Structure 1
Amino acid sequence: MPLGTKPDMERLQAHEIVDRVAEMRPWLRERQAVAEQQRRIPQETIERLDAAGVFSLTKPKRFGGADFTTRELHDIYRALGAGCGTTAWVVWATAGGNLWSFAFADDVVAPVYDPAWVGPRTFALGGTSRHMSGTARKVDGGWMIKGVWPFATGSVHASHGYLAVFYDETDDTKVGMALVPKESLVLRDDWDAMGLAGTGSQTVATDGDLFVPDERFSTPAQLGERIEELTKQGLGPRRGGLARSLVTCTGVALGMADQAMEMFLSAVDKRSIPYSPYAKQADAPIIHLTVGRAYAQIRAAGRVADAAVAELDRCEAEGVDPAEREAVQLHTDAAYVWDACSSAIETLFHASGASAILKRWPLQLIARNCRAGSLHAAHNIDTWLENVGRALCEVESAPMSVSVLERRS
């Protein structure tokens, strides 16, 4: 049995996890507001998700990971988003950190996947800019790192973090990742947001300089070499890198949209439209138009996500990573899905009447969570429409800022 494997997780298939998540859906929905109030996913939710095998989604195969396809991951995230968008976001974000586990030797990574740990194992931060990352300087036997990293989704529940650090004062290509036990960091508990408030995406920092041994420090180039080596052994990750992560995350947005539509339709026979002749919203043509418009947006977003998922599964089948132009399109597709789902949910919220602003009704929370997700830098629709438009017009520009994962080339 591979090191770190939980025996009862080895046989789980993607459809089994989807079924388990679907069974949890009413329970997850009841606790959406609790997560927002606590500014983190409740521990009981983490324990139930762990028992359902959710945190094995992108764990390296050599540590008992599920190694699901892009389609399977997308569908699992959509099932989670239909229960609680905040919970789905945390599962997705912490799953992404697992890719950096391929950069290090097995004996270094083994503590990350200690089978006794309950919950997500990793979080990963920074790398797109210096103000969102730390710094590192070389010393005998390792590196001294120092910094402040905001938006540390998963740091509440994970055991280890992958922290981006720049190790040259002037060269922005000189960036690496340090594997750090969470207990070595200062957790600021400063996450207080209008949306996705339950993700616990607090700031983490070092208390002065922190020593990281050489074996727990890697670079994008070293990660690429390690991935190629493991891929030849049949132990590498699926193709696609960050683009794949963002495409699978569209399942979170679509799941929230599914939940919003279900909530809205459940009330149209009960809610009236004051100052109108309609005792039930279901009788009003404006509601029919509203539902049709939102449905069309969600359906179109789903089709765009399906096309992006299919493209990544094609790359996997052919044993190639997306080309640069393809990656730009995949980023744009992901941004489009988030924006379309947010707009559809807000359309339903606007049509729900004044009572929808009450916090005991979940639609306002779903709307805030999805819009917050759409504002993530990697999902910003205006940025990616400009980028794809520039590519279509064949206009050259200065190099764009990219994540540390995209610097492998």
Structure 2
Amino acid sequence: MMAADETSARLTAVLDKVRALGPTLRERALEAERAGRHSDETIADIDATGAFEIGSPAEFGGYEFSVRQQLDVVTEVAKWDGSCGWTVWAGASTNWIPAGSGARVVEEVYKPEWVGPRVAGSSHFPASRGRAKRVEGGWQLSGGPWTFGSDALWAPFTNLGCIADDGEGPYLVGAQVPLGELRFLDDWHVAGMRATGSVSCKLAADELFVPDHRCVDFRDITGGNLDNGLKGSLWQAPSLGWSFSLMAGMSIGIAQGALERFLERSAGRPIRGTTYKNQLEAPLTHLMLAEFHSKVQSATLMTRANAEETDRLGVLAAAGTPADPDYMQRFSARVLVETAYAAKWCAEAVELLQRNSGSTAIMDFEPIQRAWRDARVVTLHGALNLEALSENYGRLMAGVQPHNFAGITTLDRFAPTAPNKAV
């Protein structure tokens, strides 16, 4: 593990490189949107900043930043282009999946040299169309396609969610599938985050044999039941805290970038229907900016607190004194609902800027309209159903168990044994 000062210096270096690359990412955004994916040049340029290594194991040369530090990187990338932020977020926030799949998968994913994100995942929900059947020496995969494959175009492996049934009822498994065994559909035609290339994927053949070590019961992955050979506390941190704190950082970065662009284009711009010759001197602009600040600052403070708590819980677990299940359940539910609120508030904040930017802000070359669309897409992520998450957290606050459902955001993976208490 790196010393704290060395890690801090490396984080600063990554952030400085992202800031230097940022204007180029923004300049390429329109072309990438039209293509429905980042160019290979953009992926290589982001890789050169170190952004794809922020959540990779130190044992294999990765930076293994804390969740709080990863949050800063995701936020900075998203400030320049939401789709680039999504791509870095997806790569960083899903490292827990291969790490939870055991030491052999970890070595296969992280040991080779690679340009681009190392991790991708697709369809880790009960509605997965993928099927996995036990056979001698491994598993036979079939079905698909697997949807919303963020980073699958560039990662060496994609973890595919599959439903298995050994006769005692269906359950979810994660199958680590090499890039060369996948084919991608041209179905990413969306309102925002267009350059992420989050296409559906299918198997290159009707069926695929996957060796036993690459297909893991998802309950073992979420429970951290397999030895991965990694020593850092990051690998003991709660996966929902890791994934969703970074997701909120994406929303915050998009809002920050939109604000910079708004201030830049509003200087000296008159407001039609008024006598104001400079939009930045108008009281109505000042009121709007204060509301923008309050929404984004609220999202930022909650998100930073969740990232820091995720790191603290990882340290506790690594020291052999993990938080009790009851607290973990409430923390996980809290992270989910607060991420949904952060996404909502940031999207609303960007909409304030959009509505006050005039008709030229609807042009496809204008970053503000892209930020507006991208921020709304984050709120529509399948795991961020605000009303459902609010109900589940409210149930816990009232002393009632949340809904029992399957998937990566299930809250019943914890088994409370005592009344709620602080840790």
Partners of 1:163 and 1:177 within 8 A in 2: yes
Residue 137 of structure 2 aligns with which residue? 141
Aligned residues: 401
Stretches of structure 2 lacking an aligned partner (at least 5 in a row): 415-423
Deviations 1:300-333 (A, max 9, x none): 1111112212322321332236610111011111
Residue 120 of structure 2 aligns with which residue? 123
The amino acid that maps onto 1:315 is L
| Alpha-carbon distance between aligned partners in 2 of 1:46 and 1:263, rounded to the nearest angstrom | 24
Give the one of 138, 152, 157 matched to 2:154: 157
Alignment of 1:305-324 (within 5 A): 305-319=303-317, 320=322, 323-324=328-329
Does residue 81 (structure 1) correspond to residue 86 (structure 2)? The answer is no
| Alpha-carbon distance between aligned partners in 1 of 2:403 and 2:147, rounded to the nearest angstrom | 26
Are residues 159 and 388 of structure 1, via their aligned partners in 2, closer, same or farther at CA, if it must alter by over 3 Å? same
Give the one of 320, 335, 339 matched to 1:334: 339
User: Which range moves more in the overlay, 248-257 or 277-286?
Assistant: 277-286
Stretches of structure 1 lacking an aligned partner (at least 5 in a row): 3-8
Give the one of 317, 325, 350 matched to 1:345: 350
Give the one of 282, 297, 300 matched to 1:299: 297
Are residues 204 and 406 of structure 1, via their aligned partners in 2, closer, same or farther at CA, if it must alter by over 3 Å? farther
| Alpha-carbon distance between aligned partners in 2 of 1:108 and 1:123, rounded to the nearest angstrom | 13
Deviations 1:87-124 (A, max 9, x none): 01111112233222224454554343354321112211
Q: Please report the TM-score for the alignment, with normalisation by the length of structure 1.
A: 0.90
| Alpha-carbon distance between aligned partners in 2 of 1:304 and 1:77, rounded to the nearest angstrom | 16
Residue 6 of structure 1 aligns with which residue? none
Offset of residue 397 of structure 1: 5.5
| Alpha-carbon distance between aligned partners in 1 of 2:249 and 2:402, rounded to the nearest angstrom | 32
| Alpha-carbon distance between aligned partners in 2 of 1:71 and 1:80, rounded to the nearest angstrom | 15
1:148 aligns to what SS in structure 2?
coil
The amino acid that maps onto 1:362 is P
Give the one of 266, 269, 280 matched to 1:268: 266
Partners of 1:144 and 1:211 within 8 A in 2: yes
Partners of 1:230 and 1:236 within 8 A in 2: no
| Alpha-carbon distance between aligned partners in 2 of 1:211 and 1:53, rounded to the nearest angstrom | 34
Residue 379 of structure 1 aligns with which residue? 384
Partners of 2:120 and 2:150 within 8 A in 1: yes
Alignment of 1:221-240 (within 5 A): 221-223=219-221, 229-230=227-228, 233-234=231-232, 237-240=235-238
Are residues 172 and 121 of structure 1, via their aligned partners in 2, closer, same or farther at CA, if it must alter by over 3 Å? farther
Deviations 1:4-56 (A, max 9, x none): xxxxx999722221111111111111112122111111211111111121111
Partners of 1:282 and 1:288 within 8 A in 2: yes
1:145 aligns to what SS in structure 2?
strand
1:378 aligns to what SS in structure 2?
coil
2:121 aligns to what SS in structure 1?
strand
Does residue 186 (structure 1) correspond to residue 183 (structure 2)? The answer is yes
Give the one of 161, 164, 167 matched to 1:167: 164
Partners of 2:104 and 2:213 within 8 A in 1: no
| Alpha-carbon distance between aligned partners in 1 of 2:352 and 2:167, rounded to the nearest angstrom | 47
Partners of 1:125 and 1:133 within 8 A in 2: no
Partners of 2:173 and 2:218 within 8 A in 1: yes
Does residue 391 (structure 1) correspond to residue 396 (structure 2)? The answer is yes
Deviations 1:180-224 (A, max 9, x none): 112112211211110101100000112322111212111234436
| Alpha-carbon distance between aligned partners in 2 of 1:79 and 1:254, rounded to the nearest angstrom | 9
Let me know the Cα RMSD of the aligned residues: 2.6
Question: Taking every aligned residue pair, what percent have the same amino acid on both sides?
Answer: 29
1:345 aligns to what SS in structure 2?
helix
Does residue 368 (structure 1) correspond to residue 384 (structure 2)? The answer is no
| Alpha-carbon distance between aligned partners in 1 of 2:68 and 2:7, rounded to the nearest angstrom | 20
Does residue 29 (structure 1) correspond to residue 34 (structure 2)? The answer is no
Q: Please report the TM-score for the alignment, with normalisation by the length of structure 2.
A: 0.87
Residue 214 of structure 1 aligns with which residue? 212
Partners of 2:93 and 2:242 within 8 A in 1: no
